[in-house]
Amino acid sequence: MAETVQYTEDNIKSLDWKEHIRLRPGMYIGKLGDGSSPDDGIYVLIKEVIDNCIDEHVMGFGREIDIQINEDEVSIRDYGRGIPLGKVVDCVSKINTGGKYDSKAFKKSVGLNGVGTKAVNALSEYFKVQSFREGESKLAEFNQGKILKDHKVTKVSDKNGTLIVFRPDQEVFKKYKFRYEFIENQLWNYAYLNAGLKIRFNDKVFFSKNGLLDLLERKTATENTRYPIVHLRGDDIEIAMTHGNHYGEQYHSFVNGQNTTQGGTHLAAFREAIVKTVREFYNKNFDHQDVRSSIIAAISVRVEEPVFESQTKTKLGSQTIGPDGPTLRTFVNDFVKTNLDNFLHRNPDHAQALLKRILQSERERKEIAGIKKIANERAKKANIHNKKLRDCRLHLNDKKGDADKKEMTTIFITEGDSASGSITKARDVQSQAVFSLRGKPLNCFGMTKKVVYQNEEFNLLQHALNIEDGLDDLRYNRVVIATDADVDGMHIRLLLLTFFLQFFPDLVRNNHLFILETPLFRVRDKKDTYYCYSEEEKEDAINKLRGKAEITRFKGLGEISPNEFGDFIGENIRLVPVLMSDEMKIEEVLSYYMGKNTPARQEFIIDNLRVEKDDILLDAVA
């Protein structure tokens, strides 16, 4: 007979604010991560503090923000009004306390719930807040949300404003590393959305005069756009857009200065409004795919008391622009219909260029329609009869998967039975999937999207990822290329990068693509074992074992046993993000690497593309 479990008053527990944040950090800052993804928790900590500085600027106080990062310590200083001195401690240590509840003071604020800086405080091994206000200053210091010292008010000559200094707690954020390119991209967004604001970060300055026009000019600096950027501004809304020659749709969306990386109701309304306006302007019922294919656009709206789908504010859920305002759908649609229609009538050259782009997309879509139908049927049949995709349990009974499930999932793309077999046996079957390639992929440089449907490996891969019609239904948050760390493995990696950059660049732009780092050496004696990812790490391990070591050089993933592999793709996984800088021109990069097969190019690849390097393919060449 099963033992009866007692359920009494003793089972009911209450956690204070800091204990709850530390126990459930994901509720407050999303995933923890190690800094290899721009939405990892360490960047959310920075964002939560900067958001408060931005709110001061939006309210008309403070035109500068100073940010310093020295190793693991972050310092952020604004020049706004400064937190009222008597409430400095409360504002960073009492949950649901802040000025944002007074809608008169912060009508269209980024941070609304009085949680942000409290989460930073609770998740920092050291946290300092100092307010400067009318010649006086108040300072308080904390550890993991617990106050260390509450300083007395002192006289100062500093300008008004607030200083926050913190060090992320290494008990929570294990083995993390700040990647400045993610922070700088975040700061550029703040600058574009707040024209006239100057942000200083270490030795760089971020400043914009023209808002989203500047943003899109930077994002399209290396693109062959079909017409000059259309820039439209109105009350509480700003839009910039053009079309290029790439595949897919590229959007940058914002609400109250917050980068909504997952879009939301405002972006859905914009995508719908573009199609509707274009159809009415040209008086033709274009397919929505043809209108939006290769679009590059940015939209920013300001909403009263916005409702986001999570504390990290990456997806807008609000249906209206305010308690008494119209729906967001109506608001955005009316703005686009009026202003874009007027613009196209006044600028016939733009209108003609846009029409040519739409008609080209229409021709390309119809050209592959027949091939696509046959390929889709073949893919369905293949998925039933082969073992190319070993899916994770989160998706086995859910073809698309909801957003929460996708956030947790990873797919490893590998080549060969031995490598895929090791990863399959070692993986977390709940959240990790494996796709096994057969031989080296085709070099698809310079080919049209027709080849994706004609080539069986590419066709099955796009169906496994569910990216045929864009990233909306991408089934895995992290797409990881797992190849051997030798010349053949590097070649396969390049071929896969070419495939994604050529046909699915949004996968890279949205930071879903990674390279798996696996150890090159195992160094061990009878007591200790070290797995080394470079020659330097190998030498360090040999020294630790005082030279009495057995050294194994892993020639391929298949040589690593599943028991060992489990550690490399589990908690201690090392992933290198594939980053696409704004200065990178895809066509030129692919032409260099995958075009004419010259000895100089081969030598460069062998010498420079090693997994140990942080600067993977795209950064090194951009």
- pLDDT, one tens digit per residue, over 78-119 is 999 999 999 999 989 887 555 554 544 455 655 544 468 999
C-alpha to C-alpha distances, 294 to 65, 271, 504, nearest whole angstrom = 35, 13, 11
Q: What is the pTM of this model?
A: 0.77
Q: How far apart are the first and last CA of the chain?
A: 67
Delimiting residues of CATH 3.40.50.670 domain(s) in the chain: 386-518+556-621
CATH 3.30.565.10 in the chain is located at 17-206
The percent of the chain in helix, strand and coil, each rounded to the nearest 5, is: 40, 20, 40
Residue type, 602: Q
Tell how strand 250-255 and strand 410-415 pair up. Answer: unpaired
State the residue for tokens 């009085």. 114
In whole angstroms, give the CA distance from residue 36 to residue 577: 6
Tens digit of pLDDT for each residue in 215-234? 999 888 777 899 999 999 99
Q: Are strands 73-78 and 529-532 parallel, antiparallel or unpaired?
A: unpaired
Please state the φ and ψ torsions of residue 325, each to the nearest 5 degrees. Answer: -95, 175
Q: Which CATH number fits domain 17-206: 3.30.70.940, 3.30.565.10, 3.20.20.70, 3.40.190.150?
A: 3.30.565.10
Cα gap 297→251, rounded to integer Å = 5
Tokens of 447: 């080919």
288 alpha-carbon distance from chain centroid: 26
Name, in order, each residue with C-beta under 8 angstroms of 604's C-beta and a sequence gap of 6 or more. none
Q: The tokens of 401 are what?
A: 């998967």
Per-residue HEC secondary structure of 452-511 comes to HHHCHHHHHHHHHHCCCCCCCCCCCCEEEECCCCCHHHHHHHHHHHHHHHHHCHHHHHCC
**521-524, strands of its sheet edge to edge:** 529-532, 521-524, 550-553
Q: What is the 3-state secondary structure (H, E, C) of 529-579?
A: EEEECCHHHHHHHHHHCCCCCEEEECCCHHHCCHHHHHHHCCCCCEEEECC
Minimal CA–CA distance to 126: which of 146, 150, 153?
A: 146
Phi, psi of 417 (to 5 degrees): -70, -40
Half-sphere exposure of 273 (CA within 13 A, CB side): 24
Helix (H, G, I), strand (E, B) or coil at 99: helix
Residue 5 gets which letter from DSSP? P
Burial group, residue 218, by CB count within 10 angstroms (0-12, 13-18, 19+): middle
| CA 479 to chain centroid | 13
**CATH class for the region spanning 212-363:** alpha beta
Question: How many Å apart are CA 434 and CA 456, to the nearest integer?
Answer: 17
Nearest in space to 189 (alpha carbons), one of 239, 268, 260, 119: 260
User: Which two three-digit tokens encode residue 355?
Assistant: 């029409």
Q: What are the tokens at 154?
A: 């002192």
CATH among 3.40.50.1220, 3.40.50.670, 1.10.4160.10, 3.40.720.10 for 386-518+556-621: 3.40.50.670
Residues linked to residue 329 through DSSP beta bridges, in sequence order: none
Give the bridge partners for 571, in sequence order. none
Distance from C-alpha of 354 to C-alpha of 294, rounded to nearest angstrom: 11
Nearest to 413 by CA among 475, 460, 476, 482: 482
Q: Length of the chain, please? A: 622
At residue 411's C-alpha, the angle toward residues 468 and 219, to 5°, is 55
Written as six digits, the tokens of 128 are: 């300092």
Q: Which two structure tokens, joined as six digits, stand for 96? A: 């649901």
- CATH 3.30.230.10 in the chain is located at 212-363
What integer pLDDT is reported at residue 607 of this predicted model? Answer: 57
Q: How far is CA 319 from CA 201, 272, 404, in A?
A: 36, 15, 21
- The two tokens of residue 197 are 């604001």
- Measure the CA–CA gap between 382 and 387, rounded to whole angstroms: 9
In the numeric block, which tokens belong to residue 211?
Answer: 């808002």
Residues 6+ apart with CB under 8 A from 463: 376, 379, 383
Residues 6+ apart with CB under 8 A from 512: 471, 474, 476, 477, 478, 479
User: Which sign, positive or negative, has the C-alpha torsion 213, 216, 218, 220?
Assistant: negative
User: Element (H or E) spanning 106, and its range?
Assistant: none
- b vs e for 140-160, b when ≥16 Cβ sit within 10 Å of the residue's Cβ? bebebbeeeeeeeeeeeeeeb
Token digits of residue 79: 């020049």
Q: Is the torsion defined by CA of 275, 400, 421, 541 positive or negative?
A: positive
Read off the tokens for 414.
């590998």
> How many other CB atoms are found less than 10 A from the CB of residue 414?
26
Cα 449 to Cα 250: distance, rounded to the nearest angstrom: 18
Report angle CA 168, 172, 176 to the nearest 5 degrees: 60
Question: Could you tell me where the DSSP H helices lie in 324-455?
Answer: 328-346, 348-385, 393-396, 403-407, 417-426, 450-454
Asked if 77 contacts 171 with a C-beta cutoff of 8 angstroms, the reply is no
Sites in the chain below the pLDDT cut of 50: 1, 101, 103-105, 112-114, 399-401, 609-622
Q: What are phi and psi of 207, to 5 degrees?
A: -155, 140
